[in-house]
Structure formats: structure tokens, C-alpha cells
Amino acid sequence: MGKEILGCLDKSKLDVTKLRIFGSERSAGKIINDVTVELFNVDGARECDVVFLAVSGDFSLEHAEKIAEGEDGAIVIDNSSAFRYNPEVPLVVPEINAEACKGSKLIANPNCTTAIALMALWPLHKLFGLKKVLVSTYQAASGAGQPGMDELFEGTKKVVNGELDVAENAIFSHPLPFNVIPHIDKFMDNGYTKEEMKVTWETRKICGLPDDFPVSCTAVRIPTSRAHSESVVAETEKPFDLAAARQALTDAPGVSLVDDITADPPIYPMPLTATGKNDVEVGRLRRSEVFGDNGFELFVCGDQLLRGAALNAVLVAEAMDEMGEIEAKKVAST
């Protein structure tokens, strides 16, 4: 995740004059991108204009507010779920609600599954008004970080090379190679997983929808490497119009309409094509057989580590820079 942020920063519009990297005792002293990793300390972090936190929720809970507090604190963009549901902390997908950052020193970066789905849903919400949203996910091993990707790859290798009938597992609850695990994050009292409820909670907050707006998700881990796919069905207030929807998705920043079922081979979103791409791929767009004229179905695929995490965080910083929020922090610090 940290590595992905560095990659996104490198390509960003931000004028990075000085890059500092903080890490644990284990990482301190290592050199990454010509920068010697410093042992994390709040005072050092506060000296920065913008701090990207790619750490555990517990670490964020302990330190994020201390880094951001006061006029001379740093702008903190936190990738954990620690502050996402705090009404004082904006939860931001820049293409949707960048203005929510205004005046805030601590910004939460959304869950990857939510961010990817909302890139497709937001332009359609503006056109037709969402009434209900149902999501089923096809999530990559990268959601469990590099160890998850390694477990999938090494396990698969042992199975196809005949060393094992069934792969071993330590990161995932069950073996992932050639399997499907309908379980990501811990289970809640309502029978949903926390990953699934994040999609419900975060969709409401980011899109400014009511607290009881109906969104549900089934989050499923599948044996792919780093792009998440999602099957999405929505009921809409206004009748769905396919041509208008296609135009809105074509015009939407951060979205690639990848939808030509008449091509040979047909074109639709896939991890194979979405991996490493900043834009989220949207396709299989059609009127819903269940919700009739007032509904649509689509398939979306996005790089979990980019739109789902690092890219979104860097785009938040870019948006805050454009709004003068970073300059304001610099002025306050000097």
C-alpha cells in the first residue's frame, strides 16, 4: 500500500518538494525511492504538509488526530477504517464529494470495494436517483496485502504442479486457489461481514444518502490477484435510459466505459484489463430484468490498490491542493 502511494505520488499533479517516509523499527533505516525511512514519530509527521497513513486502524486511532491537531498540524489522509464512520471526519472519493474535505485536517479514505462501486454509481445516481443498491463482489487476494497475493500464487503453484491436492492457508480462512470464500473481514451480529457493511455505511456517507438508504453487499474472495470486480443492481427513482447512462459514464472522470458486447471478443470489465489502470472499468450496462424501467445492472472492475486505496488518497490530496487547503496549512505552519 505504501509502495502504491509512492507510485501514485510520482505521477500526481502535486508538487512534492520533499518526501519523507516513516516506518516501524523494522523498516527504519531502509532506503526506499532514495529516501531513508525514519522511525515514526508524531512531531516529524506534523512537520509535513500532507501525511498519508497506510497503517492499521489501531495505529490510526492512536496517532492520526495527534498528527492533524491544531492549525500547524499536517493534513492526514487515513486509509484505515478507524475514522470513516466518525461524523466529524469527511469520507471522500474526490470525484464525488471533494468539497467535504474543505476545512478538515483529517480525511478518511474509503473501503476499496465501496470506492470502486461508487465510481460507476455516482454518475448514474445524478441522472436517475438511486433507490436501492445490491452488490455482489469478486475480490482479489490483494485485499489481504502482499502476503495474501503470495499465498494465492504459491498455493496455486503447488496445486497445478501436483505437490498438493488442496493448497494450505494462513492468511485466508480457507485455501483460496481454485476456491471461493464468501467471507471478508469479521462477521457482525446481523450475519453480514464488516466488509459488506462497510459498503452499506460508506455508500450512504459518501453519496449523502439517508442513514437508512437500502444498500446490501455479499463480499466474496476469489482467486484473482489485485483487481476487484462487482456485480451491481440498482433500483432508480427515474426511468433508466441506456444511452444517457452510457454518455454519463463516458463523461465521468475516473471511469472507463468498457462495454461492447457486439465486439469479437466482446469487451467488458475484467481484472486482466483493469489491473494497473487508474480508471475503474464499467460495462455490462443494461436495464434490470427485476426492477424493469426503473433499474439497471452493471459490472465494474477496478484496481484494488489504486482506486481502492493509494490513488484515491493521492487524488484527495490533489483536490485539497486545488482548494487551497494545503497552502492554508503551510501558512499556518510558518
Residues at the interface with its own copies (CB under 8 A): 132-134, 136, 138, 153, 156-157, 160-161, 166, 173-175, 178-183, 187, 190-192, 197, 200, 214-218, 220, 222-225, 229, 231, 233, 242, 261-262, 265-266, 268-272, 283-292, 297, 299, 301
Rounded to 5°, angle at Cα 15 from 66 and 97: 65
Pairing of strands 130-138, 227-236: antiparallel
CB of 266 to its own copies, least distance (A): 6
CB 51 within 8 A of CB 77: yes
Question: How far is Cα of residue 332 from the mean position of the Cα atoms in its chain?
Answer: 31
CB 151 within 8 A of CB 171: yes
Residue/partner pairs of 25-30 with CB below 8 Å, 24 or more apart: none
Closest CA to 93 of 76, 80, 111, 72: 111
Closest CA to 227 of 141, 114, 105, 320: 141
CB of 249 to its own copies, least distance (A): 14
| CA separation for the pair 63, 68 (Å, rounded) | 9
247: CB partners within 8 A, 6+ apart: none
| CA separation for the pair 195, 138 (Å, rounded) | 13
Catalytically active residues are: 112, 228
Name the β-bridge partners of 235.
132, 295
| CA separation for the pair 6, 4 (Å, rounded) | 5
DSSP 307: I
CB of 188 to its own copies, least distance (A): 9
CB 171 within 8 A of CB 148: yes
